Amino acid sequence: MELSSRNIELGGINAAAFFGVNNENLKHLKTFFPKLSIVARGHKIVVKGEDEIIDQFEVKLTLLLRHFDRFNSLSENNIDNLMLSDGEKLLHTDNGSETLVHGNGGVKIKARTVNQKKLVDSIEKNDMVFAIGPAGTGKTYTAVALAVKALKAKEVKRIVLTRPAVEAGENLGFLPGDLKEKLDPYLMPLYDALRDMVPPERLAEMIQYGVIEIAPLAFMRGRTLDKAFVILDEAQNTTIMQMKMFLTRMGMTAKFVITGDMSQVDLPGKQRSGLAYATSILRDIEGIGIIEMGHSDIIRHKLITKIITAFETQEQLDKQNKYDRGTEKS
């Protein structure tokens, strides 16, 4: 019988991680197809053998690739299970139904507090959601996890992450380097969240081709963001006009999440925060969710809650002292 040769492209996955250390995963896979010659060459596999057996191999390889894309990991045990006749069913079984996305190394990323779960539910029900709360409550991290989940499920075609560059005054000319070098340090928290959830090679490729876009808020002007999961981070530092500009970028099939901490407003002078203004006038509109998070949602170091409480207590004392001095003068 005449043998065939077929090249199978793996796509944009991390091929080294997929094949395993010293190609252990590939070697294990070969044991299920002893009549095939299977050779890895970069991001593709060259298979030689009978067409019918190659077809069977492609079906199983697709399951393995889907598993790897979903969980960011692959083991010999996974291969054993997916090679079974009901391997397809195993792939659809989610032992942790609350898992938002599987991060690098297969780490399960879940909503870990009551209000984080409320945020997840609100984003699923509404096309626009505001998440307000102090640092460390997982507002942005949860939103990014849901964005990655939506992208993997092909519910959206891209992710757009943005921040108002207030600390740099929206004028980055005084910083060294080209535009990307100026912006990257400021946008680093968004990169950090993505790095937990998307393999490095895949993340670099998605950013290169615009599947994931990370940019300052000023870059959103004049655009219509459609078929996208869009997150505005640090929204307390938007002006009212910036917030209006951003919210009106929403396309027909977009999902918008706006996060911010009203205790960390860096706007110059006495400008009113666009986040405070928007949540006050949009609160009762159907299709818009507003989730308020508190100290009980803080999941960073245990000292963070104490630090935030100490700052808030002192701020209240300062306000009271200022009021008392004003009363004495009058």
Judge whether residue 330 has pLDDT over 80.
no
| Model confidence pLDDT, tens digit, residues 25-40 | 899 999 999 999 999 8
253 and 136 in a common domain = yes
pLDDT at position 116 is 87
> Identity (one letter) of the amino acid at 266?
D
Please tell me the pTM assigned to this model.
0.65
232 and 118 in a common domain = yes
pLDDT at position 95 is 45
Mean pLDDT to the nearest integer, 200-210: 88
| Model confidence pLDDT, tens digit, residues 77-127 | 778 878 876 666 656 554 445 778 777 766 778 787 778 888 999 999 999
The percentage of the chain sitting over the pLDDT mark of 90, rounded to a whole number, equals 38
Residue 175 per-residue DSSP state: S
Mean pLDDT to the nearest integer, 271-282: 94
Q: Choose among 278, 217, 274: nearest CA to 240.
A: 274
Q: Choose among 32, 12, 9: nearest CA to 78.
A: 32
pLDDT at position 276 is 95
Q: Does the residue 139 lie in any domain? A: yes
Q: Does the residue 308 lie in any domain? A: no
Question: Which residues in 167-205 are b (16+ Cβ under 10 Å) and which e?
Answer: ebeeebeeeeeeeeebbeebbeebeebbebbbbeebbeb
Mean pLDDT over all residues of the chain?
A: 83
Entry field: residues in the chain: 330
Mean pLDDT to the nearest integer, 300-329: 75
How many Å apart are CA 92 and CA 137, to the nearest integer? Answer: 31
- The domain in which residue 115 lies consists of 99-299
116 and 62 in a common domain = no
Q: Choose among 138, 118, 141: nearest CA to 129.
A: 118
60 and 183 in a common domain = no
Which range in 75-89, 217-231, 309-323 is most confidently predicted, on average pLDDT? 217-231
Mean pLDDT to the nearest integer, 275-280: 96
Which of 39, 69, 92 terminates a domain? The answer is 92
How many Å apart are CA 191 and CA 193, to the nearest integer? Answer: 6
Please count the structural domains in the chain: 2
Q: Does the residue 59 lie in any domain? A: yes
pLDDT at position 87 is 63
Pairwise pLDDT comparison (319 vs 139), residue with the higher score: 139
pLDDT at position 247 is 96
pLDDT at position 179 is 56
165 and 80 in a common domain = no
Judge whether residue 172 has pLDDT over 60.
no
pLDDT at position 253 is 92
103 and 87 in a common domain = no
